[in-house]
Amino acid sequence: MTDQTTSSVAGHSAEAGVGREDVKVIAASSIGTVFEWFDFFLYGSLAVVISRHFFSAVNESTAFILALLAFAAGFIVRPFGALVFGYMGDIWGRKNTFIFTLMLMGVATFGVGLLPTYAQIGAAAPWILIILRMLQGLSVGGVYGGAATYVAEHAPHSKRGLYTSWIQTTATAGMALSLSVVYLTRVSVGQEAFDQWGWRIPFLLSVFLLAMTMWIQLKLNESPVYLKMKAAGKATKSPFKESFGNWDNLKIVIIALCGAVIGQAVIWYASQFYLLFFLERILKVDGSVSNILMASALIIATPLYIFFGWLSDKIGRKKVMMTACALACLTYFPLFHALTGAANPALAAAVAKAPVIVYADDAKCTVQFDLVGGKLFGTSCDIPRSFLANAGVTYDFESAPAGTMGEMRVGDQVLQAFDGENLPTAELRTRRAEWQKQASDMLAAAGYPLKADVEQINYTMTMLILITIMGLAAMIYGPMAALLVELFPARIRYTSLSLPYHIGTGWFGGLLPMTAFAIVAETGDIYSGLWYPVGFSAFTLVCGLLFLPETKDRQLT
């Protein structure tokens, strides 16, 4: 065993205190992971602006869904990043793999800042954007497993939840940092300039964070557990085969995914990105105000990750995490309803006073999403439904007899639509624009606001609701790293924990904003998208209670 191995292992006994090396490891790993999440989440913070620049060839609702789909592309490839970098981490070491993922993320993020828009290079722009998002996804697919494993393998036995909870704060800190940088850039260059070119600045600034993070990471030593295992000749030569070709370990991978990670993913992304989209897109809160509210709530809620990580050291990971799933199922709908009343009281009042109904023939209603952007939504059912989806106005649908011309009812007012299926495209666009102007006037007369009035926002109540929703994310996410590290043996730990984590967060969590918004656009109910996180939280609660073991007292070696 080398001197470095001996000193590293000796310096981290099972019940060691928080030493200088521990603080350096936690701080450096956390800073590196914050950088990864800052880069990855910049896109989510700017999805509304990006949809205008890269998906401008389609209607507004479809453009936003496509922008969210591009956002989701980074999540879809995360399990593949987990496999690639998990393999590297178990074969070549935790530190070197972590550094490589940082470099890949930095290059991809800087590239988004330089990318020409749809207006400049046409259809190539969104495709290049998606490729860069996929590179970011591959990178972040490797960073979490590396950081969690690295910190946990340095941690004293009784403080593993506390130590690794600092890694759990980094995703929230990265998002708060991205929102803050976006807000400061908006203020510095002005809203008009920001919408035109200023949105690029946060992506370009990331190169300075990359340089600082790389400098810090290069000063760290390798994980003592990995060094000891390597010196003893017990490191794996086939992490894929041992992780997924062995049923005993594969069974734990499946349990980790279904009984922990899926619930964590949907709760976390509902509390971060869907909450931001709900404020800005559906409740029509000004983008700068939404950024301030979200960043402030994230900063206030961040210590809760540390608290719940510490609590899981005392009472167990499973109890804390399953409680979060149960609370999400019970509280999401009332909390989001309350948020509407606090952030846009005029909208809540208008919905109560003059509810909107679309009355139309079911046969004339089509799905409110067009992947290729060629659909004009010209039936007498689709015209009011697409208008209301774009306007972010909730409505009920009532089926009319076959052949009935569709209409929009706002309270006791009625506006009949028209059937434009057989009209020339230019005429359909003109008539639809005229109809939408009448519909907008009708909604305004009934008290429906075009934007949330910043002077009417109940900021105290809004912040309390945001912090409560984010607190549920902290409850399930705070103990997650410790749980996953403790579930798997050291020789295949990086690979084994990375795959279920990134399938859960990448596929179930990353697809949440796009899927939830598509559900809202299709149903007309601004709260219907919440069935996605509530349903999967319930699924994880059942699987976790039945199959997930308690791990807090397990040894990592």
Q: DSSP assignment, residue 489?
A: -
pLDDT at 398 over 90: yes
Residues pairing with 361 in the sheet: 400
pTM for the model stands at 0.78
Q: Which residues are within 8 A (CB) of 543 and not within 5 positions of it... i.e. 6 or more apart?
A: 255, 258, 259
Contacts for 466-469 with beta carbons within 8 Å, 24 or more apart?
466/275, 466/293, 466/294, 466/297, 466/301, 466/339, 467/297, 467/300, 467/301, 468/331, 468/335, 469/270, 469/271, 469/275, 469/332, 469/335
Predicted confidence at residue 14, as pLDDT, reads 39
Architecture of domain 349-445: 3-Layer(aba) Sandwich (3.40)
The pLDDT assigned to 1 comes to 37
Does domain 3-344+455-547 fall under CATH 2.60.40.10? My reply is: no
Note the pLDDT tens digit of each residue in 432-449: 899 999 999 999 999 999
Question: Which residues are CB-neighbours of 121 under 8 A, at least 6 positions away?
Answer: none
pLDDT of residue 262: 97
- Summarize pLDDT for 467-520 with one digit per residue, the tens: 999 999 999 999 998 999 899 887 777 777 878 888 888 789 878 877 888 888
The residue ranking higher by pLDDT, 384 or 119, is 384
User: pLDDT band at residue 325, thresholds of 50, 70 and 90?
Assistant: very high
Residue 339 confidence (pLDDT) above 90: yes
Which two three-digit tokens encode residue 375?
């659909």
477 within 8 A of 168, measured Cβ to Cβ: yes
Average pLDDT over residues 296-311: 93
What is the rounded CA–CA span in Å between residue 237 and residue 64? 45
Summarised one tens digit per residue, pLDDT across range 34-43 is 776 776 677 7
| pLDDT at residue 435, as a whole number | 94
Res 413: pLDDT: 93
Q: Answer with the residue of higher pLDDT: 551 or 244.
A: 551
Least trusted range by pLDDT, from 137-141, 430-434, 438-442, 520-524: 137-141
Predicted local confidence at residue 7, as pLDDT: 37
DSSP collapsed to 3 states, 68-124: HHHHHHHHHCHHHHHHHHHHHHHHHCHHHHHHHHHHHHHHHHHHHHHCCCHHHHCCH
C-alpha triplet 477, 480, 483: angle, nearest 5°: 160
Q: What was the pLDDT predicted at 232? A: 64
Check if 3-344+455-547 and 349-445 are the same fold.
no
Residue 226's pLDDT is 57
Hey, how many other C-beta atoms are within 10 angstroms of the C-beta on 208? 10
Angle at 211 between CA 169 and CA 128, to 5 degrees: 85
Mean pLDDT of the chain: 83
- pLDDT for position 156: 80
pLDDT at position 18, please?
47
- Domain locations along the chain: 3-344+455-547, 349-445
Distances in Å between the Cα of 473 and the Cα atoms of 161, 331, 343, 476 are 16, 13, 21, 6
How many other CB atoms are there within 10 angstroms of residue 318's CB atom? 20
Task: Work out the pLDDT band at 213, boundaries 50, 70, 90.
Answer: confident
CA distance 238 to 94: 16
- The torsion of the CA quartet 549, 480, 269, 75, rounded to 10 degrees, works out to -90
